[in-house]
Amino acid sequence: MEAFNNMLAGGAAEDVFFYVFAALTLLCGVLVIMNPFSRNPVTSAMFLVLTIISMSGLFLLLHAFFLAAVQIIVYAGAVLVLFVFVIMLLDLKEEERRRIKLFGFVAGIIAVGGIVSAFVKSLASVKTDGPPPTVEGDTISLGHLLFTNYTLPFEIVSVLLLVALVGVILLSKKKLE
Amino acid sequence: MHVGLHHYLLVSIMLFCLGLLGVILRRNLLVIYMSLELMLNAANLALVSFSRFNNKLDGQVLVFFIITVAAAEVAVGLALIVALYRKRQSAHVEDLTSMKL
């Protein structure tokens, strides 16, 4: 118990939490795209919720408190509910196992492998010898930045939301001309 | 080893590639859409970790905008999928080949 407390004091707890959340995020991410037990889209959506929530844990570890909350409220609360709602609306049956075309599969793996190698190569040039991080992503500082330096993008995004609203209503009308 | 920028970026890379793999391998439109969300989230994670380790908040503001735009995009995309399903009774990409030569 004492050793555990010492570990907490030494900042090692954050490392442990990082590994837990990272493992959870990646595991649930794998289960979103290929679940060996079920190919039902609802299962994918549920694991996407878990991915989002564990990722907001990672945001907390990065001291992005506002974004962690927004991530849960907007993604897990709104976007995923929309997904589940549409799945319910479409009444999708359990997806039968269609034969995956070998050519597409191999080409896909090669493409993903190429992108992975490019990313990992660029990782080597990342400098990590900066000053220790002190920035806090709390609501006050983020809101201050949002309404001083980023006022114009903020307004444009609100217009975009309005356009999306009108577009969705138009698209989901009964008769599409 | 202390957890630093590299660790977060590695998680972000792996998550992005998972999303890409999902887009390539899966044939269900909705699951492809979820994989797209996964890729957006990977980009968000990279931006937040850059913002943290550069001591600048601008990255987090960008993530805020990305989340907003992603929400709008999901609404429009799902409306398109529903409209498509009404016309074709299918949400499989292999059934939607009318633009194929």
Give the CATH number, domain containing residue A53.
1.20.120.1200
**Model pLDDT for residues A10-41, shown as the tens digit of each residue:** 567 888 999 999 999 999 999 998 877 777 88
Domain membership flag for residue A177? yes
The verdict on a CB contact (< 8 Å) between A74 and B49 is: no
The token pair at A153 is 């993008």
- Residue B9, chain A, CB below 8 Å: the answer is yes
Instruction: Band the pLDDT of A107: cuts 50, 70, 90.
Output: confident
Domain membership flag for residue B89? yes
Residues A4 and A64 in one domain: yes
Beta-bridge partner residues of B92 = B28
Domain end, chosen from A35, A63, A94, is at A94
Domain membership flag for residue A116? no
Helix axes B58-88, A80-90, angle to 10 degrees: 10
The token pair at A7 is 């570990």
Residues A90 and A142 in one domain: no
**Smallest Cα distance from A1 to chain B, Å:** 22
- Residue A27, chain B, CB below 8 Å: the answer is no
- Residue B88, chain A, CB below 8 Å: the answer is no
The verdict on a CB contact (< 8 Å) between B14 and A26 is: yes
Beta-carbon contacts below 8 Å between A and B: 220
Contact list, A52 vs chain B (CB under 8 Å)? 41
Contact list, A134 vs chain B (CB under 8 Å)? 55
Q: What is the average pLDDT across B61-86?
A: 91
Question: What pLDDT, on the 0 to 100 scale, is given for residue B4?
Answer: 83
Residues A89 and A166 in one domain: no
Here the ipTM equals 0.91
Write out the H or E segment, with its range, that includes residue A6: helix A2-9
Domain membership flag for residue A119? no
Domain membership flag for residue A101? no
Residues A86 and A154 in one domain: no
Asked if B52 and A134 touch (Cβ cutoff 8 Å), the reply is: no
- Residue B7, chain A, CB below 8 Å: the answer is yes
Domain membership flag for residue A125? no
Instruction: Band the pLDDT of A88: cuts 50, 70, 90.
Output: confident
The token pair at B100 is 């194929």
pTM for the structure as a whole = 0.89
Q: What is the span of the domain harbouring residue B51?
A: 5-95
Domain membership flag for residue B100? no
Give how many domains chain A has, as a whole number.
Answer: 2
Contact list, A20 vs chain B (CB under 8 Å)? none
- Residue A46, chain B, CB below 8 Å: the answer is no
Domain membership flag for residue A111? no
Compute the Cα dihedral for A119, A121, A125, A127 and give only its sign: positive
The verdict on a CB contact (< 8 Å) between A98 and B94 is: yes
**Considering only residues 55 to 74 of chain B, which have any Cβ-Cβ distance to chain A shorter than 8 Å?**
55-58, 60-61, 63-65, 67-74
Least-confidence region, from A89-93, A147-151, B23-27, B54-58: A89-93
Give how many domains chain B has, as a whole number.
Answer: 1
Average pLDDT, chain B: 89
Residues A72 and A148 in one domain: no
The verdict on a CB contact (< 8 Å) between B14 and A32 is: no
CATH, residue B40 = 1.10.287.3510
Distance CA(A133)–CA(A136), nearest Å, equals: 9
Q: What is the span of the domain harbouring residue A148?
A: 138-177
Domain membership flag for residue A106? no
